[in-house]
Amino acid sequence: MKRVKCSLMILILVTSLITVKITAQKANFKINGDFPNLKESDSVFLCNQVMNKLVPFSRAKISDGKFTLTGYVKYENEYYVMVTTKRDTTYGKFFVEKTTLNYSGLFTYYPVYKVTGGKFAQKVYASQSDPKYLELREKVMKMEAKENTNEEKIALQKLQEEVGGYISNIDPNWFEESHPLHQIFLVYGIDPKKDFEKFKKQAEYIITNYPDHPNTMNIKYALEYYVKEEQKKAEGTLRKSRVGKQYTDVTTVDVDGNIHKFSEVLKNNKLVLLDFWASWCHPCRAEFPYLRIAYEKYKNQGFEIYAVSLDDNKNKWLKALEMEKTLWVNTADFKAWKSQSAIDYEITGIPYNILVNSQGEILGESLRGEGLEELIIKHLNIQK
């Protein structure tokens, strides 16, 4: 009996604390949604991004495409949205202001929103009524709905980048200078490689004044990275280009656990691309159409690809291989960033690759897009 009373007291205490917290953070936004294409959907969630996870902070049931989200936000900002059905989850973004906003239209990966109420959200999504955006959106969605050749996938990527640029076209001048987003978008407008001190000053301002803003963590990571790069530059330890130097051998395993060496593959070919990637790396996989084109054209002329995945999960790697259907030498090192090859090549980001000739000389590195094919043609002495 005492245990029951004790448990009840704890429950009352916890409930009281929760009530106090909710009262202290009184709801300061409301979003009324009306999306006919969400009639079969169950729930909608507003989320914070914490590291690589989405953490919901507001939920609403959807009835006949309509819903009302309420809650508290410390900062007006664009937040992730998850819409669930029995079959899948669709993702998007809503700009949240400390007022009532009315969203309607089409909720898709490439949305078409009509927004009323508030001060900024209308401006953020105004580009979605642009005829060029709507035309691009239609082209992209049609291409995404069918199987594409490598050439079509490359064209699709370019269109996706273009339509994505419309969606994320946010102007810092839309916000007052005192608004956190005005200061944050000023940071994004500075190139740290060209003006490190200016970037550092603005980034430190954000980190100091808005330490818990949803965008601050990314700015902090960027600042830490460029501070280290500047230190290396000052110490003379910044990694220099590997072009013209000899490669370092790599030992990895294939899907069956068999050991492979880069040097063994190089012995039988004129040119080999050592390509570091991972299943979760979208820019890496965006390069695959270019790699497939080059591989299909030149694999019988002495060109090979030796891919090294830096995944730490074998199942995710295998799933990615099944989706990408790459026919070159596929290997992995499940120590990921702590693998010997990542250490030897001082890899701090992917995609990263080097092109090596039969003498072991590195001919190029960080080759992207059509740049790889141009170098292959040059060193295989192929006439265009």
How do residues 15-52 score in pLDDT, each as one tens digit? 333 444 444 579 999 999 999 999 989 999 999 988 77
The torsion of the CA quartet 217, 219, 224, 226, rounded to 10 degrees, works out to: 160
Q: Are residues 154 and 294 in contact, defined by beta-carbon separation less than 8 angstroms?
A: no
Judging by beta carbons within 10 Å of its beta carbon (0-12, 13-18, 19+), is residue 250 exposed, middle or buried? Answer: buried
Confidence of residue 332 (pLDDT cuts 50, 70, 90): very high
* 16-20, 131-135, 212-216, 294-298, range with the lowest pLDDT: 16-20
The torsion of the CA quartet 67, 71, 74, 80, rounded to 10 degrees, works out to: -40
pTM, whole model, 2 decimals? 0.76
Predicted pLDDT at 25: 78
Q: Is the peptide bond before 351 cis (omega within 30 degrees of 0)?
A: yes
Average pLDDT rounded to a whole number, residues 194-198: 95
The torsion of the CA quartet 279, 282, 287, 291, rounded to 10 degrees, works out to: 10
Q: How many whole angstroms separate alpha carbon 310 and alpha carbon 343?
A: 12
Strands (E), 222-302: 251-253, 259-261, 271-277
